[in-house]
Amino acid sequence: MTYIENLRSDADKLPNGKVFSARINFMEHICEALSNNELPKYHFPQFQFTKKEITYYMEHNISLDEIEFQSMSADLNNFDHDLGEFRTYLQTRFGYWATITKDFMKVWSDSFGDAKYLEVMAGNGYISKELQELGKTSICTDNKSWAKQSKTGHDSLIDVERLDALSAIDKYHDQVDYVILAWSPDRDEVDCDILKKIREYGLMLIVIGEKYGATNSKKFWDNAEFVDYEAIDELNKIYSRYDLVHDEVYLVK
């Protein structure tokens, strides 16, 4: 079964499982968009259950006998676990790491005006694709090193110039205002080299990541100089944080 089919199977095992159809349908629309090389339209809600939702559901099934109630509880826990695997599924199936949606990118485009961008380590190019479709200049680069082992950089949505991050900055530094770095690996200190390079050229770095968490090296977070900027605040109001990962948008110099 596909991931979505598995979720529907989980829900079907639960009493009145159709009450969970809306969230599964939302997740299915996300997968359909990515399958069609499009961004999801809207920022994501939280998919796993809150404690309040679990309590409410359990209380409304209190009439089940003991064996049925235990079975329902186990099935609900399994369903919640599978909902929590959505991020991993999107990463492995689509190479979709940062939660880039059309409504988020529209705010980005409007907030930054006519700024020009260089996206490094761009993977499949989700950010640059939407910026370009919104009429902005975004040069998209990646050395495709991940494409050998995953969908990241394997199924590009737009033309991605095959350049490593430092070479890309050397080549295009005088043509752009910002360098974009989204979801840089947490065990690779290339982000520190990128930080050093943008400082050499007086550029600003737009980073999407989880501070001292799932993305970027500790050394990077230790050395980053964060810039307060209203446009970044606007982006973070709409950026999706739908699970335990709390990544944000940062402006770094």
CATH number, domain containing residue 243: 3.40.50.150
Whether residue 242 is contained in a domain is answered as: yes
| Residue 119 bridge partners (DSSP) | 140, 180
Do 215 and 153 reside in the same domain of the chain? yes
Read off the pLDDT band of 151 (50, 70, 90).
Answer: low
Whether residue 42 is contained in a domain is answered as: no
Read off the pLDDT band of 155 (50, 70, 90).
Answer: confident
Read off the pLDDT band of 135 (50, 70, 90).
Answer: very high
Percentage of residues of the chain with pLDDT beyond 90: 87
Whether residue 170 is contained in a domain is answered as: yes
Whether residue 93 is contained in a domain is answered as: no
Give the pLDDT mean for 50-64. Answer: 90
Read off the pLDDT band of 234 (50, 70, 90).
Answer: very high
Three-state DSSP state, 37: coil
pLDDT mean across residues, the chain: 94
Whether residue 44 is contained in a domain is answered as: no
pLDDT given for residue 25 in this prediction: 97
The residue length of the chain stands at 253
CA pair distance 253, 72, nearest whole angstrom: 52
Dump pLDDT digits (tens) for 67-114. 999 999 999 999 999 999 999 999 999 999 999 999 999 999 999 999
Whether residue 90 is contained in a domain is answered as: no
Do 73 and 14 reside in the same domain of the chain? yes
Question: Beta strand pairing status for 248-252 and 204-209?
Answer: antiparallel
Among residues 107, 147, 151, the alpha carbon closest in space to that of 127 is found at 107
User: Distance between terminal CA atoms of the chain?
Assistant: 46
Do 77 and 141 reside in the same domain of the chain? no
Do 72 and 142 reside in the same domain of the chain? no
The residue range of the domain holding 172 is 102-252
Do 75 and 179 reside in the same domain of the chain? no
Whether residue 189 is contained in a domain is answered as: yes
Count of domains forming the chain: 2
pLDDT given for residue 190 in this prediction: 95
Percentage of residues of the chain with pLDDT beyond 70: 96
pLDDT given for residue 62 in this prediction: 87
Do 121 and 23 reside in the same domain of the chain? no
Whether residue 115 is contained in a domain is answered as: yes
Question: Is the per-residue pLDDT at 147 higher than 60?
Answer: no
